[in-house]
Amino acid sequence: MLCKSTPIFTLILVAISCQEEYDLQLGSIKPRLVVEANITNQKGPYLVRLTKSRSQLTNNPYKIPDSDTAWNTAKDFAESIQDAEIYIEDNTNAIVDTLVKCPKGHWVYYHDTISNYDWSYFSVADTSILLGYYKTTKLKGIAGHTYTLTIKWQGSEYHAVSYMPPLPGLDSVKFNFTKGDIGKDDYNIPLLYFKEPQNERNYYLFITPGKSSVWPYSVLSDEFLKPYVNGLDVCKGISPDYWMTDYPGTNMSYYFIEMHSLTKEGYNYYKALLQQFRTDGGAYAPTPATPPGNIDNGALGFFKTSAVNRVEFKNY
C-alpha cells in the first residue's frame, strides 16, 4: 500500500509496470459481403457490385496475383467478389432476371510506325467483373413496382426488397446568375421547379457533377416543401471539403441534374452517409456508424430502386 509520502516517480513506475499488451486481432475479423445495387426507370442494364468489407485499421488485404492482367484495381481498394449468383425479381410482373458477370476487360494494342515499336496494355472498364460488377440482361425498371434482390455466395443467401416510388415531373430548370466574390469566378445556381405531391411523404436524392473532392449528392424530405416547389437549389450536398461549391461556372460546356425518388429506408441510408462527412472527431460529434442498409443476413450496403428525372445542359 502506498502512503501519502510516496514519491510521484514511484507511482509512475507502478503504473508502467501494470501495463499489458493486448492484441486486438483486427486481421482476424471475418469480412462481410458489401452490396451496391441500383435499379431505375431509365434504360438498363442495371449494375450490382459485390465486394468484401475490411477494417480501416488494417492494410489493404487484396493482393492481385502476378498472373492477373488487371494491374489497376478500384480506387477504393475493395476486394471484388466474382463467384456469386445474383437474381432480381420484379414482384409485380413476376419476372426474374439472372445477372451475368460484366466483361473483365480487353487488350489495347499500339504500333509506333516511326520507331517500328509494338506495345499493349490490358484496359479494365469501371464496371469490370474484376471490380465486382454484375449486370442485368432483361429487367426493366418501372415506377410503382417492387423488386427483390437475391444473392448466393459461399453457401449463404442474402435478400433485399425495395419499392420504386413514383417521381413528380420537372416543370423547368433555371439558372440564377451569381456574381462571385472578389478573386472568384461567377457561377450559376441551378433551381428546380415542380409540383410536390401532397398527403404523402416523399423523399428525394439529387445528383450533380462535382469537383474531385466534392461529393455530388444531396437528400431531401418533402416535410417542409410547399405544394409547388418554386426554385429548389439542389447543390447542397455535404462533402469532405465543405467550403467548396459545386455550382457550375458561367462558361460551362456540360452539366446535368438528376432527381431520384427514394424510399424512407433509402433516405435514411443516404442521410447516414452524409452525416459521416460531418463527423469531425470532436467530443460532441456523433460516433461514426454503419449506415442502415436493407440487405439481410449480415450483409452491408443498399439495394436502391428509384425513378429518375435527368436534365442535361450542353453548350457545344
Highest mean pLDDT, choosing among 5-19, 104-118, 133-147, 187-201: 133-147
Confidence of residue 132 (pLDDT cuts 50, 70, 90): very high
Note the pLDDT tens digit of each residue in 73-110. 566 778 899 999 999 999 999 999 999 999 988 888 88
Q: Model pTM?
A: 0.79
Q: How far is CA 133 from CA 42, 46, 240, in A?
A: 19, 10, 27
Mean pLDDT of 16-22: 48
Question: Distance between CA 308 and CA 168 in Å, rounded?
Answer: 9
Lowest mean pLDDT among 9-13, 119-123, 198-202: 9-13
Determine the pLDDT at residue 287: 59
Highest mean pLDDT, choosing among 37-46, 119-128, 220-229, 276-285: 37-46
Question: Distance between CA 240 and CA 206 in Å, rounded?
Answer: 17
What is the chain's alpha carbon radius of gyration, rounded to the nearest angstrom? 25
Mean pLDDT of 267-277: 85
Domains of the chain: 29-164 (2.60.40)
Q: Which of 117, 219, 202, 135 is nearest to 168 (CA)?
A: 202
Strands 100-101 and 106-112: unpaired
